[in-house]
């Protein structure tokens, strides 16, 4: 047993000590490992709680359902109306904090109603120090982050997921659809639908790491993962993608030559906020 296996054992032991846990499960790389570790440690005393909202694309919900169904894990879906949050549609810089708190208040209420004292999420060791205002909401609500506590970073989580045969081992990174919009640009359910369907069009064409950023004037700016952009210009893909994105409501479709990067839409604003918080330069 190597060090990574030992850390996974400690992760399971810590979860087992809860006696029963509700896992906030999105079908992402991190929350999938937490849920599987909880299932191994607690059996039926581990339950997945999945938030459904227009800010999450339907295919993510479908994947979460399939994972739980195929592995015999009980899943509870909790409908969350993020747009009921005052000012949320205006997409302010503290959007993530407001949304995360609102979402987890609903998940926690559902978990408490089912008798769970412990609610776990997928925050990992890499998340410390980044501009992640949602983490403040988790701390305020007492949500537990066993991956972070076990010192497991994203690379560790992917390696463990591979060893365990989890389907998310190589799954691309995902963030809620609100991150496709510039802070201050108004967002509504229709715009979220356009982005979700546009990204699905790219996935259908075989692209893995995709983002479609929404710009005012009906502009879709496509970001693709390393090495994927040249494929857009092959076999008529560009024309098919252009047609589908215009079909979902965009007026102009462009390719970002810099490719995909986390937080690219609001990097300057987030860097300034992080400096204000004393989290870096």
pLDDT digits (tens, 9 = 90+) for 32-65: 999 999 999 999 999 999 999 999 999 999 999 9
CB neighbour list of residue 9: distance below 8 Å, 6 or more residues apart:
1
The pLDDT, as a whole number, for residue 281 is 33
CB neighbour list of residue 258: distance below 8 Å, 6 or more residues apart:
223, 264
CB neighbour list of residue 45: distance below 8 Å, 6 or more residues apart:
19, 20, 21
CA distances for 198 relative to 71, 170, 213, angstroms: 31, 22, 10
Q: What is the mean pLDDT of the chain?
A: 92
The pLDDT, as a whole number, for residue 126 is 87
pTM of the model: 0.89
pLDDT tens column, 223-245: 999 999 999 999 999 999 999 99
Q: What proportion of the chain, given as a percentage, has pLDDT over 70?
A: 93
The pLDDT, as a whole number, for residue 53 is 94
User: If you ran DSSP here, which 8-state letter would residue 171 be given?
Assistant: P
> What residues of the chain score a pLDDT lower than 70?
1, 129-132, 266-281
Alpha-carbon gap, residue 122 to 124, rounded angstroms: 6
The pLDDT, as a whole number, for residue 262 is 79
Strand order in the sheet with 119-120: 75-79, 46-52, 21-24, 119-120
């Amino acid at each position: 047993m190597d060090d990574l296996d030992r850390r996974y054992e400690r992760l399971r032991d810590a979860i087992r000590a809860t006696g029963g846990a509700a896992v906030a499960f999105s079908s992402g790389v991190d929350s999938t490992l937490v849920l599987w570790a909880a299932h191994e440690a607690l059996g039926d005393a581990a339950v997945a709680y999945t938030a459904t909202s227009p800010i999450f694309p339907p295919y993510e919900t479908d994947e979460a359902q399939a994972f739980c169904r195929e592995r015999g894990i009980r899943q509870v879906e909790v409908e969350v109306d993020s747009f009921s949050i005052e000012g949320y549609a205006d997409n302010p810089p503290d959007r993530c904090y407001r949304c995360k708190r609102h979402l987890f208040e609903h998940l926690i209420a559902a978990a408490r109603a089912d008798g769970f004292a412990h609610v776990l999420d997928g925050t990992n060791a890499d998340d410390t120090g980044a501009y992640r205002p949602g983490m403040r909401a988790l701390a305020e609500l007492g949500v537990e982050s066993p991956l972070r506590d076990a010192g497991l970073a994203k690379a560790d989580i992917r390696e463990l997921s591979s060893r365990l045969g989890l389907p998310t081992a190589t799954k691309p990174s995902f963030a809620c659809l609100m991150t496709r919009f510039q802070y201050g640009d108004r967002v509504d359910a229709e715009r979220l639908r356009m982005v979700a369907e546009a990204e699905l069009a790219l996935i259908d064409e075989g692209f893995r790491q995709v983002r479609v950023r929404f710009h005012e004037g009906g502009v879709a700016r496509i970001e693709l993962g390393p090495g994927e952009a040249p494929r857009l210009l092959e076999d008529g893909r560009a024309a098919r993608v252009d047609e589908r994105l215009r079909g979902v409501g965009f007026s102009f479709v462009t390719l970002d030559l810099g490719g995909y990067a986390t937080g690219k839409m609001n990097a300057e604003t987030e860097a300034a906020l992080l400096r204000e918080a004393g989290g870096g330069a």
